[in-house]
A and B are shown apart, each in its own frame.
Chain A
Amino acid sequence: MAIPLSYSMRNLWKRRLTTILTVSGMALVVFVFAAVLMMAAGLQKTLVETGSDDNVVVVRKGSTSEVMSGIDRRQASIVEMLPQVAIGGEGRRLVAKEVVVLIALPKRGAGNSNVVVRGVQEASIPLRPQVKLVAGRLFRMGSSEIIVGNSIAKGFTGVGLQGTLNWGMRKWTVVGIFDAGNTGFSSEIWGDVDQVMQAFRRPVYSSLIFKLNNPAAFPASKTAIETDPRLTLEAKQETRYYLDQSEMMAKFLRILGLSLTVIFSIGAIIGAMITMYSAVANRIGEIGTMRALGFRRRSILAAFLAESLLLGVIGGGTGLFFASFMQFITVSTVNFQTFSELAFKFTLTGRIVLQAMTFSLVMGFIGGMLPALRASRMKIVDALRAA
C-alpha cells in the first residue's frame, strides 16, 4: 500500500523555511535556464518571421550577408527576367533590387551601434507584407526622405519623425515610422534605392528579392541562377536566408545557457539533497513506525522521492512563473553574423516550458534519490530504537 501524497506535502509545509530556501534555489536555476532558452528562441523567431517562404533572396556567391554582397546592374536585370518571377497587380514583376549598408547611429543610453539602411524600390513593399506604416507617410521616390523601423525609433536618438540624419553630404529627413512586428525589418531604415546608392557611391546592388509565381518553383529558379555562366550569384529561400543569420547567435546563447545551468543545477541539487537528508534524519522514528505498521520499503522510497519531486515541481513552476514576465522585455544587440543591430523579444514556447519542468524534476529526482534510498534501507528495529 502506498503512503498518501498528502504526507509528503504536509512534511514540506511543516518545514517551511527550509522548503522555501530549497525551492528558491531551484527556481533561480530554472529561471536562468528558461531565460536563456527564451532569448535564443526569440532571436530565431524574429529572424524566421522576417523571411517569407515564397520569396527568394539573391546575393553574390560566398557572401554570408547582404552587406557583403554586390550585384551589378547587368546581372540584376538577367535575374529579373527569370520566368519564375511572379507578376503583380499592374503587370509589374515582383522584383526588388535593394542595397544594404550599415551606418553608425548613437544608441539611447550607450555608445554607437550599426544600423541597417536598406535602399528599396516600389516593389519592396508588397514583397514584405509585415511592414506597416504607423506614423507619418511613406517616403517619395527620388527624394532624400527615409522611414525608420519602430525598434530603431525607440532605441536610437535623433531618428524620430522629422528628425534628420547626415550622410553622403546630404540631409535625410525621417518622414515615417513603420512597424514590422517581430521581424528584423523593425531594426532597419528604409529609403529610395537610387538615392541611397548615389549617396554612398555604391554602383552595385546588394541583393535582389523576388516573389515566386508558384512556391514549388524555387528549385527551378535556383538552378537557373546558379548555372548561368553570366551570373556569379546564389539564391536562397528568404526564410532559410534569415534562419542562417540567426544560427551562430542562437547556438552561442544555447551553449552558454546549457553550460551555465548545468553548473548551477549542481548547487540546486546539493540544496535538495541536504534538505532531503535532514528530512530523513529527523523522521527516523516515523519511518520505523510506518515500517512496523506494514508499509513496504518501496512505499517509503516513493514517499520521500515524491517529496523531493514536489520540491522540483514547485521550484520549476516558480522559476517559469517569473521567467514568463521576461516576455515583456525587448533585447537589442548586435548580431555577430551580420554585424548589425537587431531587436528581439524573449519568447516562451511550449517546448521551453516542457524542457524547464523536466529539468527541475530531474534536479528533484537526483537530489532525492540517495536520501530516499537511505530511508528505505533502514531496519525497523534500528529506526524505532533511534527514535
Chain B
Amino acid sequence: MLQLKILFRNAFHNKLRSGLTILGITVAVLAFGLLRTVIGAWYAGVDAASASRLVTRNAISIIFPLPIAYNEKIRQIAGVKLVSYGNWFGGIYVNEKNFFPNFCVEPRTYMAIYPEFVLSPPEKKAFFSDRKGFVAGRKLAARFGWKIGDQVTLKGTIFPGNWDFVLRGIYRGRDQTVDETQFFFHWDYLNETMKRVSPGRAEQVGFYMITVARPDLAPDVALSVDRAFKNSLAETLTETEKAFNQGFIAMSGAIVTAIQMVSFVVILIIMAVVANTMAMTTRERIGDYAIMKTLGFGGGSIAVMIFGESLVIALTGCLTGMILTFPAAKAFGQALSNFFPIFIVSAETLWLDLLAAFLIAFFAAIIPARHAVRVGIAEGLRRIG
C-alpha cells in the first residue's frame, strides 16, 4: 500500500511534466484506437457476411455479366435453397461526391436472402409492386432527407441516361453491423430499358446470390455451380460472400497495411516521449535513489519503483484515451459515414490499447532503471551537491 502511494507521489511530483506526458499518451492511445477502428470498418463487410451465402460472378472479372438464363440452371443444383440476382448500377446522385452503393436486384428473392435488411410489410409490398420503386437504407435516406414517395433521379455511368425512381421503403439493419447506406431497385426496370436502348446488353446480370440449405454444403454447391458452366462462353466463379468481400479488401491491401503500420508508429513516437520523461525524472532523483540505497533498499526495489511510476503515468493516459475513444469514434464515424457505413470500437481495440500502455511503460523505463540500479551510492550522493 505504502509503495503504491510512493508511486503516485513520484509520478505526479513534477505536475507539468507528468501532465504533458499523460496528455501525449492520451492522444496516442486515441489515435491508435481510431486507426484500429478504421481498419475494423474496412473489414466490416467481411464480418457481416454470412457463411451460408454464395456469390456467383463471371470468372474473367467482376465487370463481365452472366446471362439471366443461368438463374433456372442454378436453382436446379442440389443444396441450393434460394437464388437471387442483380447488377452493380454505379449511378451518381446529383454529383460524384454523393457516392453510395446502388444495385438493381430481383426484389422478392433478394429480400428473402438478406433477412438483416428489415422492411415493414406494407413498405415491402409497395416496393415489390412498383417497378420504378426503390428502397434505401435508413442512414442514406436521412443523409439526403428522402421521404417515402419522393422521386429520385440517378445518372448512370455504366448504363447511360437519367434514371427516375420513387422511394417505396426505408430499410433498417437488424443490428448495428448492417450497412444502412445502400440503394436497391428492380432489375426488371433496368432490363426493360436496356432491351429498348441497347438490346445487346439486356438479359444479363452482374452476380447471382445463392443461399444454401446448410452452411456445410456451401463448398460443394460452389463447385457444382462452377462445373455446370465450365467451357461455356461465360464461365462462373462461385465463392462464399465472406471470401468475395475479402477479395475486395485484398485489392486495397497496400493501404490497409500502411494504416496498420502507421498505427504502430504512433506507439513508437509516444514511447520515445515517455522514455524521455522517465530519463529526466530519474536523472533528477538520482540523489534520492542513493539515499534509499544507503538505507538498505536493493537495486530490485528501486527498479520496481521506476517501472511502477512509468506504469502509473502510462495507464492514466491510456485510460483517459480509451474513454475519449468512444465520443471521438462517434464523431469520426458520422463525418465519414459515406466511406465507412459501420464504425464501431471493438473490444479487441481496447485490449490492444492496454497492451500498448504496458509496452510503453516497460520500454520507457528500461534505460533509466538500469542507470538507477547501477549508480554507486557515493556517485549518486555527490550529485546533490
Contacts and interface: CB of A to CB of B under 8 A. Distances in A.
Interface of A: 17-18, 21-22, 24-25, 28-29, 31-32, 39, 60-64, 67-68, 101-104, 107, 110-114, 167-169, 200-201, 203, 232, 256, 260, 263-264, 266-268, 270-271, 273-275, 277-278, 331-334, 336, 339, 341
B160 A232 contact: yes
A232 B160 CA distance: 10
A113 B250 contact: yes
Interface of B: 16-17, 20-21, 23-24, 27-28, 30-31, 35, 59-64, 90, 96, 155-158, 160, 200, 231, 233, 237, 246-247, 250-255, 258-259, 262, 265-266, 268-270, 272-273, 275-277, 279-280, 367
Contacts of A263: 27, 30-31, 266
B158 to A, nearest CB: 5
7 contacts: A22-B272, A68-B90, A111-B246, A111-B247, A112-B247, A263-B27, A267-B27
User: Interface residues of B: mostly helix, strand, loop or mixed?
Assistant: helix
A315 to B, nearest CB: 10
Contact of B269 (A29, A62, A278): A29
Q: Which 6 residue pairs spanning A and B have beta carbons closest together?
A: A111-B250, A334-B251, A271-B273, A333-B254, A25-B272, A270-B24
Contacts, number: 145
A113 B270 CA distance: 37
B273 A18 contact: no
Contacts of B200: 203
Given A22-B272, A28-B265, A64-B96, A274 B61 contact: no
A103 B253 CA distance: 18
Given A201-B233, A274-B273, A333-B251, A104 B262 contact: no
A112 B258 CA distance: 19
B59 to A, nearest CB: 8
Contact of A102 (B23, B28, B31, B62): B62
Contacts of B63: 67, 101-102, 114, 339
B269 to A, nearest CB: 5
Given A32-B262, A264-B31, A274-B276, A114 B61 contact: yes
B269 A264 contact: yes
A21 B23 CA distance: 18
A113 B251 contact: yes
Contacts of B258: 39
Given A21-B273, A60-B160, A68-B90, A267 B61 contact: no
Contacts of B96: 64
Given A232-B160, A331-B254, A336-B252, A18 B64 contact: no
A381 to B, nearest CB: 22
Contacts of A331: 254
Interface centre among B233, B250, B280 (most CB of A within 10 A): B280
Given A28-B272, A104-B237, A266-B23, 15 more contacts: A29-B269, A39-B258, A102-B62, A110-B250, A112-B247, A114-B251, A168-B233, A201-B233, A263-B31, A263-B266, A266-B27, A267-B24, A267-B273, A271-B269, A333-B252
Contacts of B251: 111, 113-114, 333-334, 341
A260 B63 CA distance: 35
A203 to B, nearest CB: 6
Contacts of B233: 168-169, 201
A331 B367 CA distance: 37
A200 B235 CA distance: 12
A24 B157 contact: no
Given A169-B231, A267-B28, A274-B21, A22 B61 contact: no
